A and B are shown apart, each in its own frame.
Chain A
Amino acid sequence: MSPKTLYDKIWDAHVAHEAEDGTCLLYIDRHLVHEVTSPQAFEGLRMAGRKVRAPEKTIAVPDHNVPTTAGREDPANMTEDSAIQVAALDKNAKDFGIHYYPVSDIRQGIVHIVGPEQGWTLPGMTVVCGDSHTATHGAFGALAHGIGTSEVEHVLATQTLIQKKSKNMKVEITGKLRPGVTAKDITLSVIGATGTAGGTGYVIEYCGEAIRDLSMEGRMTVCNMAIEGGARAGLIAPDEKTFEYCKDRPHAPKGAQWEAAMEWWKTLYSDDDADWDKVVTIKGEDIAPVVTWGTSPEDVLPITATVPAPTDFEGGKVGAAERSLDYMGLTPGTPLKEVEIDTVFIGSCTNGRIEDLRAAAAILKGKKIGVKRAMVVPGSGLVRAQAEEEGLADIFKEAGFEWRLAGCSMCLAMNPDQLQPGERCAATSNRNFEGRQGRGGRTHLMSPAMAAAAAITGRLTDVRELM
């Protein structure tokens, strides 16, 4: 047999039909659904008199626009349009008989945190969701990617997706990370090196010692931002850490089925002599704690650097950098460590898991915030409960952070958690686009530890100085 990549193996196990031109129907094992990109899809099913083909493989949870403040079970405490979308999801979940975690359920949270937490996401699966950060689930060695609403409807109706195979790209992070450097710094540094279109047309497999050394939480952070590098999906081969994480989760297989699953999962790796269309190698020791300075996730620099000038770039990036600097209110040559911030946001599907909260709390313990506003939005009700049990919530509250309920919150600012025009935010989320966190808001992306450090000093800060 010819050597295969991990992507090849998962792909081959899910092709339900292949046309002569290579267009395939890829079978979908898990379909995650949220309130913002699904109403039109369910409406489409109703109009055509169609059912959900595999409701037992379809899981819904409201996360994008739900408030993260107390009392949200009462629709009167949501904005009217949010309440309509959440009510539509309630109704669609009930009418079509799919799994559902309403806001009143402690298991509710960001869809990409709930899936793995409940054991819905398992190695070797195909996972889709009407959300680009579905790439997160690739951390389990699952082929996972975001789709549009028309494709959501297609998967609901047929449990398949029309696809052509992407190319294989290997991103290897060799050796060890230095102290203060995290999964977020890896994933941002990769995007900084390859650009936001560097992965277009590819599925990325992340590998190497630094990746193997990451926890499952860290691996999810890395894969989460594969989309920011333009890739269709990000993957990490499953290993003992993966199996340990999955074992005994509510929807993970048990007993003989677990054994059978393990047998297959252990074959899920790229063969040594597999062909790669593109290879990127970065030394782990070369990665520093980084922040973004501009309005594209590729605008990444070590915290020790200075704000770049448009003339540092070439081609279309010159104009883009000019526009970014103007929008961000930054002057070339300014040390990044002198940039003052107003707000800190810790949360999102990138960095809203327990390990992220632990990392931030370790920096914040016994300290007070030096910014106008700081909030922690745990990724799920269960993450929140665990953080309370571990005493992390108290550390955040004593430091002056708001301790919120689970949701996407200020990552995309669809709910009332938004930046004001000109406000500058240190954020653990994934996008620094113009207006992303609120019209005129300025976002700097970084790791939870770096965001905690910035919260204390009131400016972008090298976390290593506080360690």
Chain B
Amino acid sequence: MDKFTTLTGIAAPMPLINVDTDMIIPKQFLKTIKRSGLGVNLFDEMRYDDDGKEIPDFVLNKAQYRDAEILVAGDNFGCGSSREHAPWAIKDFGIRCVIAPSFADIFYNNCFKNGILPIALPQEQVDVLMKDAEKGSNARMMVDLEAQTVTSSDGEVFHFELDSFKKHCLMNGLDDIGLTMEKAASIDSFEAAAAQARPWV
């Protein structure tokens, strides 16, 4: 997995609440058996018209946000389906960080498996960053995972919280399965004890 340490980039504003994973990547793109190549279909139904032409008003179609690496969005981002195709599409587009007042549980976890940093901040702080993002490509935000801060283009610094284990894995690009395999002895002994206690399982 790609490491995440710091990121300085353009932030795209998406002031919508309840952005669901069907919006992020509609189901017709779930028929792939690969993880890559989904960026072109990120937000497909909001981004393209029925003929497949770009809708100019959509934020990621605007010249100043085409290279966005950060997305600032409304409450409950990533709700709905568990499809990991959502973070795959976000990452493939080039976005490495999403900032919102809250995230849906499964999406939040899926981000960390793919080198994406989801940052939850209070609504009033997201409001400040949303306004900052609306300034366009000249306004670059800075994210520092080690320090757990987001800095607006005006230099205003916001501290965010996240789980220490998730932070450690993201900063070092660690493979979860490899880490768990190191604890195989614990799993073996649990399994043996459980087979005694609940043999019907």
Q: With A39-B33, A253-B200 as given contacts, are A21 and B183 in contact (CB-CB < 8 Å)?
A: no
CA distance A88 to B31 in the complex (A): 11
A162 near B18: Cβ-Cβ < 8 Å = no
Nearest residue in B to A57 (C-beta to C-beta)? B201
Interchain CA distance A244-B20 in the complex, whole Å: 38
Instruction: For the complex formed, measure the closest distance between the CB of B6 and the CB atoms of chain A, giving whole angstroms.
Output: 23
B186 close to chain A: CB less than 8 A? yes
Inter-chain contact A197/B84, CB cutoff 8 Å: no
Candidate in B45, B165, B184 with the most chain A CB atoms within 10 angstroms: B165
B105: which A residues are within 8 A, CB to CB?
A: 200-201, 230-232
The 0/1 profile, CB within 8 Å of A marked 1, for residues 190-201 of chain B is: 110010011111
How many residues on chain B are close to A (CB under 8 Å)? 57
B88 to nearest A CB, angstroms? 9
Closest residue of chain B to A129 (Cβ to Cβ) is B82
Q: Is the CB of A16 within 8 A of B187?
A: yes
Count of chain A to chain B residue pairs whose CB atoms are closer than 8 Å in the complex = 190
| Cα of A436 to Cα of B83 in the assembled complex, Å | 13
Answer yes or no: A333 CB below 8 A from chain B CBs.
Answer: no
Does A214 sit at the interface, judged by CB under 8 A? Answer: no
Contact with B along A247-262 (1 / 0, CB 8 A): 0000011000110110
* Binary CB contact string for chain A from 139 to 170 against chain B (1 if under 8 A, 0 otherwise): 00000011111110110011110101000000
Residue A292 interfacial (CB < 8 Å): no
Quick one: CB contact mask for B168-201 with A, threshold 8 Å, 1 for yes?
0000000011001101101100110010011111
User: 1/0 per residue B94-131: CB within 8 Å of A?
Assistant: 00000000111110011001100000000100000000
Q: Which of B61-69, B73-81, B139-147 contacts A (4 or more CB under 8 A)?
A: B73-81
B40 interface residue (CB < 8 Å to A): no
B84 and A37 contact, CB distance less than 8 A: yes
B17 at the interface (CB under 8 A from A): yes
Instruction: Determine whether the beta carbon of B18 is less than 8 Å from that of A261.
Output: no
* Contact, CB under 8 Å: A197 / B22: no
B190 — which chain A residues lie within 8 A by C-beta? 15-17, 27
Which residues on the A side are within 8 Å of B183 (C-beta)?
Answer: 16-17, 25
Q: A214-231 CB contact bits vs B (8 Å, 1 = yes)?
A: 000000000000010011
- Which listed residue, A84, A260, A319, touches B33 by the CB 8 Å rule? A84
Known: A196-B76, A200-B105, A316-B75. A158 touches B16 (CB 8 A): no
In the complex formed, the residue of B with least CB distance to A252 is B200
A431 and B113 contact, CB distance less than 8 A: no
B45 touches A434 (CB 8 A): yes
Hey, which chain B residues are within 8 Å of A319, CB to CB? 15-17
A131 within 8 A of B: yes
Tell whether B26 is near chain A: CB-to-CB under 8 Å.
Answer: yes
Residues of A within 8 A of B (CB): 13, 15-17, 19, 21, 23, 25, 27, 29, 36-37, 39-40, 43, 48, 50, 53, 57, 64-65, 79, 81-82, 84-85, 88, 122, 124-125, 130-132, 145-151, 153-154, 157-160, 162, 164, 196-197, 200-201, 227, 230-232, 252-253, 257-258, 260-261, 264, 296, 298, 315-317, 319-320, 323, 412-414, 421, 431, 433-436, 439
